């Protein structure tokens, strides 16, 4: 098949959703499909003259190499995958194909009007956090794309609920996956070297990084606490306390090393479509404490493979973390069960699921 993926903008820095698409593209190409990934400078339709001017400037700067739109600094694209940088998502700028896949609500707005020559229309809807955080007007606009009659795929049950709430039919589930050659058990779950507690530090409000800081500040001053609290993300936030050991833009291998030195990993988000750091930590033998953010339920279950707490309750989050510090048997039970459970989320399974969705939609005609 000839398959076109539409991405909303450029990708010079790591992003979970974009990484997911790139990995799928590589694997589809290795299975013999002809893959094109289209990145567009102008993606939000009817966004006004200022947005059009900014998009034009971005297109020109990237077109002539002054800025970088490709992911070459953080992801290796299979040379068989064609990468395109275009000014907008007008259909004449796209190749003819058997299938065209929107990967965000912005691209789904364009795809509805494409001629049949661009391929059967699919939508890999990974907009859960954006949808839940949106204003009523924006939520209504996104909901229209969920109910537009496209062949919709999502990464988690939270995404399925989002699409159904928008009036769409039940979408196909294509779960996220992990690279177990990187994220694996390097230190035993009961190793004495596991003395750290980690969390992701992100600036978006729905990531609730401050809740993790509040919770761990309570934990670290309790009698009997020992170890190091660490976090990772982009540039270190200026407000982050000195007692947090910070790792800016760690490589995948460095991140796996940190997970393997951690006895507990904390995810404080209000919303997650999936939540890769939590699943990566589980694959490395760290016990997960996460808020009930939606996406975590795709790969973790309370008191069986993780501890799951209410969102926006750093006090409860702190108690859950302390329960694992205070009860090492509980920590190891959850970490071991989490490690074993997460092994099912392989790229082979995920790629097969996506390919099956595309082929089934094509066969239905």
**Structure token digits, residue 33:** 């499909």
Do 93 and 157 belong together in one domain?
yes
What's residue 107's pLDDT?
96
Beta bridge partners of 37: 5, 83
Using one digit for the tens of pLDDT, what is the confidence trace for 105-134? 999 999 989 999 999 999 999 989 999 999
Using one digit for the tens of pLDDT, what is the confidence trace for 242-263? 999 999 999 999 999 999 999 9
Looking at 261-346, list the stretches that DSSP marks H as alpha helix, in order from N- to C-terminal side.
Answer: 276-283, 314-326, 328-342
> Is there a domain that residue 157 lies in?
yes
Label residue 308 by pLDDT band (50, 70, 90).
very high
Label residue 42 by pLDDT band (50, 70, 90).
very high
Domain CATH for 268? 3.40.50.2000
C-alpha triplet 23, 75, 352: angle, nearest 5°? 5
pLDDT surpasses 50 at 280 = yes
> Cα–Cα distance between 259 and 58 in angstroms, integer?
37
pLDDT surpasses 70 at 365 = no
Using one digit for the tens of pLDDT, what is the confidence trace for 15-38? 888 999 999 999 999 999 999 999
C-alpha triplet 291, 292, 296: angle, nearest 5°? 95
Q: Nearest Cα to 273, choosing from 354, 186, 361, 153?
A: 153
pLDDT surpasses 80 at 361 = no
Q: How far is CA 326 from CA 322, 331, 345, in A?
A: 6, 9, 30
Residues above pLDDT 70, as percent of the chain: 99
Look up residue 47 and give its DSSP letter: -
> Is there a domain that residue 52 lies in?
yes
User: What are the start-end ranges of the E strands in the chain?
Assistant: 2-7, 34-42, 82-88, 99-102, 120-124, 151-154, 172-173, 196-200, 228-233, 244-248, 262-267, 287-291, 307-309
Q: Nearest Cα to 168, choosing from 189, 154, 153, 149?
A: 149
Using one digit for the tens of pLDDT, what is the confidence trace for 176-186? 999 999 999 99
Q: Residue 298: how many CB atoms within 10 A of its CB?
A: 22
- For 269, residues 6+ apart whose C-beta sits below 8 A from its C-beta are 206, 207, 208, 275, 290, 291, 293, 311
Do 169 and 274 belong together in one domain?
no
Using one digit for the tens of pLDDT, what is the confidence trace for 146-194? 999 999 999 999 999 999 999 999 899 999 999 999 999 999 999 999 9
User: What torsion, rounded to 10 degrees, do the Cα atoms 341, 344, 350, 351 define?
Assistant: 160
Q: Residue 20: exposed, middle, or buried by beta-carbon count in 10 A (0-12, 13-18, 19+)?
A: buried
> Cα–Cα distance between 263 and 324 in angstroms, integer?
9
Phi-psi region of 47 (alpha: psi -120 to 50; beta: other; left: phi over 0): alpha
Average pLDDT score over the chain: 95
Do 161 and 293 belong together in one domain?
no
- Are 150 and 102 in contact by the 8 Å Cβ rule? The answer is yes
> Is there a domain that residue 184 lies in?
no
What's residue 363's pLDDT?
45
Q: Residue 339: exposed, middle, or buried by beta-carbon count in 10 A (0-12, 13-18, 19+)?
A: buried
Do 231 and 131 belong together in one domain?
no
What's residue 360's pLDDT?
83
Label residue 47 by pLDDT band (50, 70, 90).
confident
Do 357 and 263 belong together in one domain?
no
Do 170 and 207 belong together in one domain?
no
Do 207 and 317 belong together in one domain?
yes
How many distinct structural domains can be found in the chain? Answer: 2
Mean pLDDT calculated for residue range 196-213? 97
> Cα–Cα distance between 19 and 312 in angstroms, integer?
28
What's residue 127's pLDDT?
86
Do 332 and 356 belong together in one domain?
no
Do 38 and 169 belong together in one domain?
yes
pLDDT surpasses 60 at 274 = yes
Do 307 and 352 belong together in one domain?
no
Q: How far is CA 324 from CA 188, 263, 279, 313, 364, in A?
A: 17, 9, 18, 17, 50
Containing structural domain, residue 360? 2-177+346-364
What's residue 364's pLDDT?
45
- Are 233 and 248 in contact by the 8 Å Cβ rule? The answer is yes
Q: How far is CA 166 from CA 45, 129, 146, 171, 278, in A?
A: 20, 14, 6, 12, 27
Mean pLDDT calculated for residue range 278-286? 98
> Is there a domain that residue 188 lies in?
no
C-alpha triplet 25, 121, 273: angle, nearest 5°? 60
Q: Return the SS3 of 222.
A: coil
Using one digit for the tens of pLDDT, what is the confidence trace for 77-93? 999 999 999 999 999 99
């Amino acid at each position: 098949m000839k398959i076109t993926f539409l991405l909303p903008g450029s990708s010079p820095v790591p992003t979970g959703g974009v990484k997911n698409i790139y990995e799928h593209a590589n694997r589809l190409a290795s299975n013999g499909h002809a893959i094109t990934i289209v990145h567009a400078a102008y993606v939000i339709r009817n966004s006004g003259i200022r947005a059009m001017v900014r998009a034009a400037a971005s297109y020109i700067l990237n077109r002539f190499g002054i800025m970088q739109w490709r992911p070459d600094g953080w992801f290796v694209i299979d040379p068989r995958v064609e990468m395109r940088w275009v000014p907008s998502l007008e259909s004449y700028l796209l190749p003819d194909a058997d299938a065209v896949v929107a990967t965000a609500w912005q691209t789904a707005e364009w795809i509805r009007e494409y001629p049949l020559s661009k391929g059967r229309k699919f939508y890999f809807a990974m907009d859960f956090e954006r949808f839940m955080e949106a204003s009523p007007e924006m939520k209504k606009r996104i909901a229209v794309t969920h109910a537009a009659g496209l062949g919709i795929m999502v990464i988690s049950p939270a995404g399925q609920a989002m699409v159904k709430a928008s009036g769409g039919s039940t979408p196909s589930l294509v779960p996220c996956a992990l690279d177990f050659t990187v994220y694996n058990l390097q230190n035993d779950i009961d190793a004495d070297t596991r003395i750290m507690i980690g969390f992701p530090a992100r600036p978006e409000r729905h990531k609730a990084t401050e809740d993790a800081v509040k919770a761990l500040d309570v934990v670290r001053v309790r009698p009997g606490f020992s170890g190091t609290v660490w976090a990772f993300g982009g540039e270190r936030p200026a407000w982050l306390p000195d007692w947090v050991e910070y790792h800016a833009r760690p490589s995948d291998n460095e991140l796996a090393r940190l997970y393997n030195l951690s006895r507990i990993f904390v995810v404080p988000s209000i919303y997650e479509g999936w939540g890769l750091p939590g699943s990566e930590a589980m694959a490395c033998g760290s016990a997960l404490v996460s808020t009930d953010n939606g996406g975590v339920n795709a790969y973790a279950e309370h008191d069986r493979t993780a501890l799951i707490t209410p969102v926006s309750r750093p006090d409860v989050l702190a108690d859950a973390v302390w329960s694992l510090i205070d009860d090492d048997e509980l920590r190891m039970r959850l970490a071991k069960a989490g490690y074993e459970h997460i092994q099912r989320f392989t790229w082979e399974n995920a790629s097969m699921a996506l390919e099956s969705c595309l082929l089934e939609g094509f066969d239905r005609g």
